């Protein structure tokens, strides 16, 4: 029988991978091909500026084993433009997504239930026109899914969800590490 640590490493878990990198053409394609070669589906991908000037942060969410993630991190860090890559579990991270729902305006005024759903879900109305209104919901994937299911029977004209944004609960000393490398 395998001990508990080995079993955990062999079980699939949701991991958030943070990659600090220079923003160069073709890098995202090379990174995504690393996942493709290992037959790992990318659940979510977000690119943004990081806390470090001129450094981009990619956040990739995957469902895999820890052993496979460690190998992927090693391959990612071999890319010339990659400064550092990390992986974290959901328990080690604070994370959110954001979603926009476009709905016919008449429902906002004719169906009191829509207003109650918006209020109970802590969503925000961001714009109202004679033809449609747009609500925004930030939160965990499950919260957005719940709101989607509640609004779906009334009709959704358009829907879009962002990729995960995430920070770690523990301090990441990437800024200090970069300063040391540059000195």
Q: Say what the pLDDT of residue 50 is.
A: 87
Residue 132 belongs to domain spanning: 95-165
Q: Say what the pLDDT of residue 5 is.
A: 54
Whether 46 maps to a domain, the answer reads: yes
Q: Does residue 87 share a domain with residue 10? A: yes
Residue 83 CB neighbours (<10 A): 19
Average pLDDT, the chain: 88
Total domains in the chain come to 2
Is 95 in contact with 44 (CB distance < 8 Å)?
no
Q: Say what the pLDDT of residue 169 is.
A: 87
Q: Say what the pLDDT of residue 183 is.
A: 53
Residue 7 CB neighbours (<10 A): 10
Overall average pLDDT of the 154-178 stretch: 86
Q: Does residue 128 share a domain with residue 53? A: no
Q: Does residue 31 share a domain with residue 10? A: yes
Q: Does residue 145 share a domain with residue 122? A: yes
Q: Say what the pLDDT of residue 88 is.
A: 94
Whether 40 maps to a domain, the answer reads: yes
Is 20 in contact with 76 (CB distance < 8 Å)?
no
* pLDDT higher than 70, residue 159: yes
Which residues partner with 124 through β-bridges?
136
- β 56-64/82-89 pair status: unpaired
pLDDT in tens, 30-64: 999 999 999 999 999 999 998 888 889 999 999 99
Whether 1 maps to a domain, the answer reads: no
Q: Does residue 111 share a domain with residue 46? A: no
Overall average pLDDT of the 8-21 stretch: 85
pLDDT in tens, 107-147: 887 778 888 999 999 999 999 999 999 999 999 999 999 99
Burial of 103 (0-12, 13-18, 19+ CB in 10 A): buried
Three state DSSP letters for 16-66: EEEEEECCCCCHHHHHHHHHHHCCCCEEEEEEEECCCCCCEEEEEEEEECH
Is 62 in contact with 42 (CB distance < 8 Å)?
yes
């Amino acid at each position: 029988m395998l001990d508990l640590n080995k079993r955990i490493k062999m079980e699939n878990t949701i991991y958030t991978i943070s990659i600090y990198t220079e923003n160069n053409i073709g890098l995202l394609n090379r990174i995504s091909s690393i996942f493709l070669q290992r037959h790992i589906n990318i659940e979510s991908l977000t690119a943004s500026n990081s806390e470090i000037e001129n450094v981009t942060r990619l956040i990739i969410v995957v469902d895999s084993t820890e052993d496979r993630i460690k190998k992927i991190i090693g391959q990612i860090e071999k890319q010339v433009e990659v400064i550092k890559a990390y992986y974290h579990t959901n328990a080690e991270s604070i994370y959110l997504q954001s979603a926009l729902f476009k709905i016919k305006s008449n429902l906002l005024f004719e169906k009191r239930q829509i207003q109650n759903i918006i209020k109970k879900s802590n969503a925000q109305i961001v714009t109202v026109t004679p033809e449609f209104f747009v609500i925004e919901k930030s939160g965990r994937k499950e919260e957005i899914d719940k709101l989607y299911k509640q609004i779906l029977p009334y009709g959704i004209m358009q829907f879009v969800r962002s990729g995960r944004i995430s920070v770690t609960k523990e301090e990441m000393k990437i800024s200090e590490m970069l300063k040391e490398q540059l000195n």
